C-alpha cells in the first residue's frame, strides 16, 4: 500500500473540540464587532506580491523570510497573504471606498507564514481582525482597543491577558529616535545577534522586536521613544491613554512594544498572556496612518488589530458544547417513514435530531447513549397505529406517550 499522505508541516486539521473552539472564537468576535458597528469583509487568500512586500517593511521578518511567494503559471508574482491589514487597505483603494469614511471592518480567515512550527505557531494559521479606517482621533485608538478587550472578555479570557501599550510617535519623533537607536546599538554592536547587526543601519526598530536572547539585555537599555516625542505625538499618546481610562480598559505601558511590521505609527499594543510560553501575544495591532497611501490611495488615518485564532482558542477553558441530540428510534420497516416525519419536525423546531440507520431496539438505544442523546423518541408499531410514540428522557428514564405532531413542541418546552 502507498504511504498515506500527511498534512503539510505547520498545517493542521480542525476536528471535533478543536474546530468547536475555533468556531467559538470567530463567532464571538464577529458578534462583538457587530455591536461596535463593524461590517465583515472578505478579501482573496492571495494577492500580488507587492501588496505585502513593500508595505510590511523590507526588513521585517515576514517579508525577509516568511512569505509564501511564487510565480503563477502566467509568470505573475503571487503571495499567500501573511496578514490581513495590507489586503484590506488594497481592497479599500481597489473598491473606490477611500472617500466613504469611516470604514469599520471585521475579517476572519487563514494567513500563511513560513515559520518554524511550534505550539501556537503554524504555517497556515488564522486571524480575526478589525480595522477602523478614517479617524485620526486618539479616541478611535481607544475604541478599537476596547473592542479587542471586549472580545477577550466575551471569550472569558480577558483576565488571562495583559494589555501592553506603547507609542511609536509620528514620523518626526521616530526619525529622531531612530538616530538615537542607531547610535546606541553601534556602540554595543559586538553583543548583538548577527540578525540584529544586519538590521542596525536599515531598521534599528526591528532590533527591539528581536526574539534572540542575547539581544534582550541590550534592548532593555536602549533609548526610549519618550524622549523624542513631538508635541503632536505626545498629545496623541496622552489622548489614547485618557480614552482607555474612559472605556475602562486597563493597560501597562511597555516601551518594548514595537510590532513586527513597518507600517505602524503612534499607538502600538499587544494583549499578552503568560500561559502560552513564547507565543504569548494573542491579539495585537496599532495605528497605521501611512498604509492606505502606500497602497495608492490618499493619505488616510487608520487603526486596527489582528488576533491569532489558534492562540485564542487554546486559552479557552472549553468550547461550548453542542446541545444533546434527540435520538429517533424506529422499530421496524413500517415505522421508518413516520420516523423521518418526526426527525424533520424536531429539526424544524430547532432541535438537534438524529436517527441511526440499522439495528434492533437495543442496538439503537445503545447508540443513542453513545451520542449523548438527551431524549429518545421510540416509534413502535402499536403506538404508531394510534398516531402516537414513546418519548423518553434518557437521564431519568421518564417516559410519556405523545401524538407525533406534539413531540417537537413537548421536547423544546422541557429543554428550556
Ligand atoms: P509573533 O511575534 O508571535 O511572531 P507577530 O508580531 O508576527 O507575532 P502579528 O503579525 O501581529 O504577529 O499577528 C497578530 C497575531 O496573529 C499574533 O499576535 C498571533 O496571535 C497570531 N500569529 C502570528 N503569527 C502566527 C503563526 N505563525 N501562528 C499562529 N498564530 C500567529
Ligand atoms: Mg511573527
Grid-cell match 489586503, residue found: 87
Does residue 122 have its Cβ closer than 6 Å to ligand 1? yes
The annotation places the binding site for L-histidine at 83-85, 113, 127, 131, 259, 263-264
According to DSSP, the residues that pair with 231 across neighbouring strands are none
pLDDT at 295 over 80: yes
112/80 Cα distance (integer angstroms)? 6
SS3 87: helix
In the predicted model, what is the mean pLDDT of residues 395-406?
Answer: 95
Residue 298 makes CB contacts below 8 A (sequence gap 6+) with 98, 292
**Ligand 2 center–CA 260 separation, angstroms:** 7
What does the buried/exposed string (b/e) look like for 32-43 if buried means 16 or more CB atoms within 10 Å of the residue's CB? bbeebebeebeb
129/53 Cα distance (integer angstroms)? 20
pLDDT at 272 over 60: yes
Task: Return the ligand 1 atom nearest residue 209 CA.
Answer: 2
The protein residue with its alpha carbon nearest to ligand 1, atom 6, reads: 260
Does residue 308 have its Cβ closer than 6 Å to ligand 1? yes
The protein residue with its alpha carbon nearest to ligand 1, atom 24, reads: 121
pLDDT at 416 over 60: no
333/329 Cα distance (integer angstroms)? 11
Q: In whole numbers, what is the pLDDT of the chain averaged over residues?
A: 94
Does residue 305 have its Cβ closer than 6 Å to ligand 1? no
pLDDT at residue 31, as a whole number: 98
Identify whether the C-beta of residue 63 lies closer than 8 Å to the C-beta of residue 56.
yes
Task: Return the ligand 1 atom nearest residue 82 CA.
Answer: 10
Does residue 282 have its Cβ closer than 6 Å to ligand 1? yes
pLDDT at residue 56, as a whole number: 83
pTM of the model: 0.92
Residue 213 pLDDT grade (very low, low, confident, very high; cuts 50, 70, 90): confident
| Same fold flag, 17-170+230-315 and 326-415 | no
According to DSSP, the residues that pair with 393 across neighbouring strands are 375
Pocket test for ligand 1, best of 12, 273, 279 (most atoms within 8 A of CB): 279
Task: Return the ligand 1 atom nearest residue 261 CA.
Answer: 10
Residue-wise pLDDT for 340-386, tens only, equals 999 999 999 999 999 988 888 899 999 999 999 999 999 999 999 99
Class for the domain spanning 17-170+230-315: alpha beta
Domain locations in the chain as residue ranges: 17-170+230-315, 326-415
pLDDT at residue 386, as a whole number: 95
SS3 399: strand
Pocket test for ligand 1, best of 25, 126, 127, 272 (most atoms within 8 A of CB): 127
Beta strand 326-330 pairing with 281-287: unpaired
**Ligand 2 center–CA 307 separation, angstroms:** 12
Q: Quick one: how far is CA 8 from the chain centroid? A: 22
Could you say which of 3.20.20.70, 2.40.30.200, 3.30.70.100, 3.40.50.800 is the CATH number of the domain covering 326-415? 3.40.50.800
Residue-wise pLDDT for 91-122, tens only, equals 999 999 999 999 999 999 999 999 999 999 99
Q: Residue 213 corresponds to which cell in the numbers above?
A: 536572547
Pocket test for ligand 1, best of 107, 284, 310 (most atoms within 8 A of CB): 284
Nearest 5°: the CA angle 86, 107, 352 is 160
Does residue 310 have its Cβ closer than 6 Å to ligand 1? yes
pLDDT at 6 over 70: yes
Judged by average pLDDT, the poorest of 99-113, 206-220, 235-249, 394-408 is 206-220
Give the ligand whose atoms come closest to the C-alpha of residue 117. Answer: 1
Amino acid at each position: 500500500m502507498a504511504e498515506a499522505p500527511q498534512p503539510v508541516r505547520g498545517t493542521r486539521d480542525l476536528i471535533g473540540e478543536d474546530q468547536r473552539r475555533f468556531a467559538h472564537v470567530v463567532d464571538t468576535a464577529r458578534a462583538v464587532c457587530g455591536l461596535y458597528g463593524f461590517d465583515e469583509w472578505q478579501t482573496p487568500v492571495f494577492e500580488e506580491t507587492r501588496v505585502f512586500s513593500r508595505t510590511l517593511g523590507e526588513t521585517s521578518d515576514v517579508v525577509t523570510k516568511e512569505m509564501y511567494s511564487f510565480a503563477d503559471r502566467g509568470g505573475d508574482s503571487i503571495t499567500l497573504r501573511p496578514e490581513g491589514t495590507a489586503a484590506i487597505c488594497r481592497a479599500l483603494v481597489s473598491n473606490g471606498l477611500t472617500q466613504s469614511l469611516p470604514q469599520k471592518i471585521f475579517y476572519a480567515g487563514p494567513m500563511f507564514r513560513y515559520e518554524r512550527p511550534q505550539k501556537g505557531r503554524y504555517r497556515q494559521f488564522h486571524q480575526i481582525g478589525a480595522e477602523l479606517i478614517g479617524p485620526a482621533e486618539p479616541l478611535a485608538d481607544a475604541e478599537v482597543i476596547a473592542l479587542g478587550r471586549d472580545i477577550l472578555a466575551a471569550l472569558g479570557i480577558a483576565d488571562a491577558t495583559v494589555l501592553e501599550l506603547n507609542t511609536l510617535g509620528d514620523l518626526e519623533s521616530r526619525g529622531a529616535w531612530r538616530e538615537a537607536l542607531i547610535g546606541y546599538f553601534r556602540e554595543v554592536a559586538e553583543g548583538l545577534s548577527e540578525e540584529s547587526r544586519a538590521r542596525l543601519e536599515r531598521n534599528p526598530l526591528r532590533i527591539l522586536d528581536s526574539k534572540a536572547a542575547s539581544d534582550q539585555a541590550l534592548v532593555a537599555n536602549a533609548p526610549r521613544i519618550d524622549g523624542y516625542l513631538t508635541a503632536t505625538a505626545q498629545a496623541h499618546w496622552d489622548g489614547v491613554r485618557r480614552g482607555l481610562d474612559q472605556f475602562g480598559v486597563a493597560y501597562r505601558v511597555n516601551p518594548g512594544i514595537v510590532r513586527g511590521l513597518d507600517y505602524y505609527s503612534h499607538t502600538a499594543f499587544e494583549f499578552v498572556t503568560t500561559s502560552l510560553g513564547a507565543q504569548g501575544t494573542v491579539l495585537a495591532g496599532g495605528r497605521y496612518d501611512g498604509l492606505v497611501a502606500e497602497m495608492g490611495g490618499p493619505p488616510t488615518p487608520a487603526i486596527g488589530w489582528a488576533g491569532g485564532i489558534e492562540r485564542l482558542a487554546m486559552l479557552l477553558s472549553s468550547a461550548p458544547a453542542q446541545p444533546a441530540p434527540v435520538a429517533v428510534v424506529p422499530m421496524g420497516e413500517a415505522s421508518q417513514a413516520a420516523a423521518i416525519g418526526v426527525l424533520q419536525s424536531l429539526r424544524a423546531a430547532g432541535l438537534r435530531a438524529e436517527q441511526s440507520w440499522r439495528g434492533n431496539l437495543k442496538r439503537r438505544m445503545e447508540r443513542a447513549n453513545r451520542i449523548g442523546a438527551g431524549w429518545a423518541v421510540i416509534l413502535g408499531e402499536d403506538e404508531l397505529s394510534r398516531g402516537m410514540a414513546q418519548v423518553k428522557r434518557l437521564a431519568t428514564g421518564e417516559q410519556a406517550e405523545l401524538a407525533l405532531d406534539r413531540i417537537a413542541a413537548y421536547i423544546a418546552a422541557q429543554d428550556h
